[in-house]
Structure 1
Amino acid sequence: MTRRIRILQVGLGDWGRDWAWRVNPTVDEAEVVGYVDSDPPALALLAKRLPVSRERCFGSLVDGIQATQPDALLVTTTLAGHAPLVRAGLEAGLHVLVEKPFTDTLETAAELVSLAAAKGLVLMVSQNYRFFPASRIAAQLVREGNLGELHGIGIDFRRDYSSPPKPRFRLHSDPQPLLVDMSIHHFDLLRLVLGREPDRAFCATANAGKGGFDGPPSATASIFFGDILVSYRASWISARAKTPWAGEWTMEFENGHVYWTSRGDNGVLHDKVVVTPRRGRRRVVELPAMSRIDRAGTLGEFAAALLEAREPETSGRDNLATLAFTLAAVESSQRQAWMEMPQVKAGLGSIAIPGNGAPPGAQAKSAPHS
């Protein structure tokens, strides 16, 4: 019988509880041995959804670690809790899987990556949009190069989370509700699909104060990967037909183009890849079956990395580039200037995700997409 990884989950707000009842039970290699949240009502709400005994619920990380002796932490708090909890877990000798965004600064993220390496521990960031069949096939098509050189990419993301009529989520009070909460997924997918890092980017945001959003819910960006130009458009307040969460992608090649989309509201049902060569017939690509998708894919990858003693796909080290990409977009939108990625990846200490003051265990509602 395969050994199971003993996991202590920290953070039981709306999204953490969703992890607890929807995701964790689907990964047999992971055994959740306890739950930690400083807010007693959060633990009470968890107990209403899952058959969890009081002996497995804790108000502090120290108590949870002492009582359960876990192998790893699963950190599902708000952003304010990520860095201190990841650091505490690593210092305690535990492997860590943390929700995105990794941390609010590159400097802090790099420190945590170094700490994990020094202690020989696995540190992984959940970038769950990678774990869908359409995104995997899109990356494969780029690698194979059967359509020739890739010239450009267009990405459109549209949802309407205007409040009212939607309820007000934590998202609505975030300083950067789109770039930090949503676009980070698309930026990470660009890194996956292209298999390389961006060189420079220009981003503009708009519509702060509209749709119930304190920060800007709309953005456009131009991003260069070498001479490949990516045109990105995204909105939380669009009146047009909604896209799947991964957005709608068009990839222009020398000898044809590819349309793809992924992560609809119901698993893989909306995953689709269509290849149209310059000469030849349009074809819909048959997508591979994946044993686990979405957050179950990240948790499964984390458990597999521990059992196989290897670095996971979206390790903290690898995710530094996704965080740098996101921070560069934020900084560009604020400066209204092009950002050179080598400078950002070098760790400019002045670049940070603006905080909203929410405590680590905040119970503000999260939009159901992360």
Structure 2
Amino acid sequence: MGLKLIHVGLGGHGRGVARNIVVPSADFSFAGLVDKNPEALREAGEEFAVANANRYTDHELAFSELEADAVLIEAFSPAHYEIAKSALEQGFHVLIEKPFVLHLEEAKELVALAKANDRQIMINQNYRFNATVLTLKQALLQQPLGKPLFVESHFFCNHIGRAYQLALENYILLEMTVHHVDMIRFLLDTEITSVSGKTWNEPDSGYLGDPHVQAVYETNLGVPVFYLSSLIVQGIADPWEGVWRIQCEQGTIHLDDLGEGYGVYTVNAEKVITKLPLIPNKHEGIHGTLAEFAEAIRENRAPQPSGLDNLQTLAALFATADSSRLKRHVAIEDYFRN
């Protein structure tokens, strides 16, 4: 049976998700649309054939009047907490575009609210559903070159954000690095235990928050991850998943372009380079997120990644910022003390 979805946020990105992800979905159809901008709402309603009576500029009113199974939040990140809290209080399952929220205590509150109301809350960490990332994870599980010893990852781009993004204190961490920190946890099947990090800015970057970050993430596997990223570099940009080198006992595993296009490669001790075939993936990227969300609702189980799971990713991000500010090593467990 199909699930009914209230889609909140129909700006450029949100409308693209509606058009390219929700409309083709075999699991969901629109119960209603919500956007504060009446013109954006009208255009989306006409494009997706949603009746005028099911279009709202007020999410509270939409949640109180519409019959639906779930809410998809594609509004800008400063509004995530308010909208998600309202949706959970009204009894809807919730799928939120990353970042979950902008403050860890808000995330903890929403996770507790979802549990109290027996609702599922999922964060769109959609790189987990990319064929490149799944292939890299399989290579790490199979250990063709022995156990991993350490990891190096970087992500560089020249990205001018929207006005609210330029003003966010931790934009690079919460909306870019969030993907790569989640990948660390997913790929290594581990938790980050501590961070030593630094963020910094340039005089004319246009960003209020720091657009550069470097960090060392220690994990409970004993495998450190060395990470570097920037939003304002000139020259060659990296793919969204970033560039990864996993040093193993008998060679390296890479997510990179080592001569045959971006993908997953192994390099053995004799320096023989092998590109691995990508794992067939029925639902790529956010298509996979939406399919997993639907399956979790139907099976009454936690989706991956759930809001609870994402607390660990958020804590690592805030620890990176705090490490830079305090100029010291920061333990993740400090964010979960009662």
User: In the alignment, is residue 295 of structure 1 matched against residue 289 of structure 2?
Assistant: no
1:106 positional shift: 2.1
Task: Give the aligned residue type for 2:166.
Answer: H
Selected match of 1:206 from 171, 183, 200 = 200
Measured against aligned partners, the alpha-carbon deviations of 1:322-346 in whole angstroms (never above 9, x if no partner) come to 1111111121122222111111243
Between the two proteins, the alignment pairs up a number of residues equal to: 335
User: In the alignment, is residue 257 of structure 1 matched against residue 229 of structure 2?
Assistant: no
1:271 positional shift: 5.1
The aligned residue for residue 236 of structure 1 is 231
Higher RCO (CA 8 Å, separation ≥ 6 residues): 1
Aligned partner of residue 26 in structure 1, secondary structure = coil
The aligned residue for residue 306 of structure 2 is 315
- Deviation above 6 Å: which 4+ runs of structure 1? none
1:312 positional shift: 0.8
Measured against aligned partners, the alpha-carbon deviations of 1:245-294 in whole angstroms (never above 9, x if no partner) come to 111000100111011149xxxxxx96510011214732110111211112
1:170 positional shift: 3.6
2:18 and 2:250 mapped to 1: Cα distance? 46
Measured against aligned partners, the alpha-carbon deviations of 1:273-324 in whole angstroms (never above 9, x if no partner) come to 0011214732110111211112221111101111222211111111111111
The aligned residue for residue 78 of structure 1 is 76
Gapped regions of structure 1 (runs ≥ 5): 263-268, 348-370
Measured against aligned partners, the alpha-carbon deviations of 1:174-216 in whole angstroms (never above 9, x if no partner) come to 2222111100110000000010111111111122443322221
Task: Give the aligned residue type for 2:249.
Answer: E
Q: In terms of mean alpha carbon deviation, does 281-290 or 183-192 score higher? A: 281-290
Task: Give the aligned residue type for 1:254.
Answer: E
1:169 positional shift: 4.9
Gapped regions of structure 2 (runs ≥ 5): none
The aligned residue for residue 158 of structure 2 is 160
Preserved contact between residue 35 and residue 41 of structure 2 (Cα < 8 Å): yes
Task: Give the aligned residue type for 2:157.
Answer: R
1:93 positional shift: 1.2
Preserved contact between residue 122 and residue 303 of structure 2 (Cα < 8 Å): yes
Alpha-carbon RMSD across the aligned residues, in angstroms, is 2.1
The aligned residue for residue 329 of structure 1 is 320
1:24 positional shift: 0.9
1:62 and 1:174 mapped to 2: Cα distance? 25
Selected match of 1:88 from 68, 86, 89 = 86
1:56 and 1:292 mapped to 2: Cα distance? 29
Selected match of 1:192 from 181, 186, 197 = 186
User: In the alignment, is residue 274 of structure 1 matched against residue 265 of structure 2?
Assistant: yes
Aligned partner of residue 232 in structure 2, secondary structure = coil
1:120 positional shift: 1.4
TM-score (norm. length: structure 1): 0.85
Equivalent residues in 2 for 1:21-36, closer than 5 Å: 21-36=19-34
Task: Give the aligned residue type for 1:319.
Answer: N
Measured against aligned partners, the alpha-carbon deviations of 1:57-98 in whole angstroms (never above 9, x if no partner) come to 112224323443001111111222212221111111111111
Task: Give the aligned residue type for 1:323.
Answer: L
1:316 and 1:280 mapped to 2: Cα distance? 42
The aligned residue for residue 97 of structure 1 is 95
1:113 and 1:150 mapped to 2: Cα distance? 33
Aligned partner of residue 224 in structure 2, secondary structure = strand
Preserved contact between residue 161 and residue 211 of structure 1 (Cα < 8 Å): no
Preserved contact between residue 246 and residue 252 of structure 2 (Cα < 8 Å): yes
The aligned residue for residue 59 of structure 2 is 61
Q: 1:69 to 1:168 in 2, by over 3 A?
A: closer
1:280 and 1:23 mapped to 2: Cα distance? 41
2:141 and 2:103 mapped to 1: Cα distance? 32
Preserved contact between residue 201 and residue 224 of structure 1 (Cα < 8 Å): yes
Q: 1:22 to 1:120 in 2, by over 3 A?
A: same
Equivalent residues in 2 for 1:102-251, closer than 5 Å: 102-161=100-159, 169-226=163-220, 227-251=222-246
Preserved contact between residue 79 and residue 101 of structure 1 (Cα < 8 Å): yes
Q: 1:170 to 1:81 in 2, by over 3 A?
A: closer
TM-score (norm. length: structure 2): 0.92
